[in-house]
Structure 1
């Protein structure tokens, strides 16, 4: 399973750790993905959604 939001498609971003001595190593920033029961087409379904989509109200949670 990829670490990707099923609503907005947000994925990990890649960059570098830079130490005090300017050594560079690769790193990644993962989106905050949560498993949520949401209503899709009137039926509850499990989705992997980022917290920014949950907070923005793009996901209607199923009780």
Structure 2
């Protein structure tokens, strides 16, 4: 599983982590992904979705019967 959002394709980004003495160390910023059941192309699938897609309503949850 790639660490990417299934809807917006948001993935990890690299950057620096700075200590108190301002020494830079390379690190990876990962998106906050949640496993959710989402309607994709009319079918319900369990995919990894970022929290921004969940909050914005882009991740459409299936209707419970």
Q: TM-score range by the shorter chain?
A: 0.7 to 0.9
TM-score in terms of structure 2 length: 0.83
1:10-49 to 2 correspondence within 5 Å? 10-49=10-49
Q: Match of 1:35, SS?
A: strand
- Who is 1:4 aligned against? 4
Count of matched residue pairs: 63
Where structure 1 has 5 or more consecutive residues not aligned to the other structure, the ranges are none
Q: CA–CA distance in 1 between the matches of 2:32 and 2:16?
A: 19
- Who is 2:59 aligned against? 59
